[in-house]
């Protein structure tokens, strides 16, 4: 640090520590995102299963009605 520039210039160790902390934060955010995505995906799977069940039920009903004619 010079007298002309009183701002602190981080050492290589301080800079590396900052990079490590940033990467740990990004990794934690990624894990959280993956967990929430997996939970959302499971909810959508259940919704589609319910819709498929409804569609199949309607198809059976329509086939029954068509067979009566």
Residue-wise pLDDT for 30-44, tens only, equals 999 999 999 999 999
Residue-wise pLDDT for 16-69, tens only, equals 999 999 999 999 999 999 999 999 999 999 999 999 999 999 999 999 888 876
Instruction: Round to whole Å and give the CA distance between 18 and 67.
Output: 73
**What is residue 69's predicted lDDT score, i.e. its pLDDT?**
66
Contact at 8 Å (CB) between 66 and 59?
Answer: no
Contact at 8 Å (CB) between 10 and 17?
Answer: no
The residue behind tokens 């990794």 is 27
* CA 51 vs CA 44, 47, 57: distances in Å: 10, 6, 10
Instruction: Round to whole Å and give the CA distance between 29 and 36.
Output: 11
């Amino acid at each position: 640090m010079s007298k002309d520039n009183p701002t602190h210039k981080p050492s290589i160790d301080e800079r590396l520590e900052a990079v490590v902390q940033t990467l740990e934060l990004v990794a934690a955010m990624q894990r959280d995102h993956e967990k929430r995505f997996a939970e959302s995906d499971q909810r959508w799977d259940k919704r589609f299963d319910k819709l498929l069940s409804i569609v199949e039920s309607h198809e059976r009903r329509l086939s029954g009605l068509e067979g009566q004619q």
